[in-house]
Amino acid sequence: MKKLILLFAIAVSATAVQAQTASGTLFAGGSLGFNSSSNKIKVGSNSTDDWKTSQFFFNPTVGYFVADKTAVGVMATFTNEKRTEFFANNDKTVTTETPINVGVFARRYFMLNDQFGFTGTLGVYGILGGSEEEDYDASSNTTTVDKFNNRGFGAAITAGPVWFATPHIGLEANVGLIGFRSETITQENTNPEVSMTESGFNFGLSTMSLNFGFHYYFF
């Protein structure tokens, strides 16, 4: 009897794991993170700030398996980044960026066993949001504020390991392999209009693009 119960438990567990990446399974989750950095300049015994940055991001995703081990879904990234630059005579510039990326993705799972495998993901997204730049002039004790609108698009291919810690919870890490991004930044309340377009392409592994997340699988 005990052997039958054990065999039944193993069979149920195996079925649950297979169901995680089976057609018709829904999953939801994402990732979040925070990082900060700073730089100081030291002349003799005197040390002064040069710049400092802080960034927080939240990346929710919802996906659906349209076939075994193949999923499609929607994603978003909410970011708040602040950078402060310090200059001579106590002048400083504070730049705050709050972009929102909204897009779709397709993902393929390559499972090595019941719990561990790798994923490859292609994502395409649009860029919304804005930024603000505050310039402080210490000599006149005045602050000028410029506001900007950000619009653009991008695409990226990411890959990484996935581990199913429980039948319903998958933990994962992803790193960027290939990416393209084009963004136009337009200053508000200017005539004629003032805008700048930034674009870039990156290829290769980078720890700067590494992030960790989790998903809950409904089946």
pLDDT digits (tens, 9 = 90+) for 180-208: 999 999 998 888 888 889 899 888 765 55
C-alpha 170/C-alpha 122 separation (Å) is 19
Give the range of the structural domain holding residue 27, as residue numbers without chain letter. Answer: 2-218
Domain count, the chain: 1
CA angle, residues 176, 182, 184, in degrees to nearest 5:
140
pLDDT at 150 over 50: yes
C-alpha 68/C-alpha 193 separation (Å) is 50
Whole-prediction pTM:
0.79
Please provide the distance, in angstroms rounded to a whole number, between the alpha carbons at the two ends of the chain.
29
What is the CATH classification number for the domain harbouring 211?
2.40.160.20
Local confidence band at 14 (pLDDT 50, 70, 90 cut-offs): very low
In the block, tokens 């002039």 appear at 137
C-alpha 212/C-alpha 210 separation (Å) is 7
At 43 the pLDDT is 64
Nearest alpha carbon to residue 211 among 79, 45, 30: 30
Local confidence band at 82 (pLDDT 50, 70, 90 cut-offs): very high
Q: Give the tokens for residue 47.
A: 């040390």
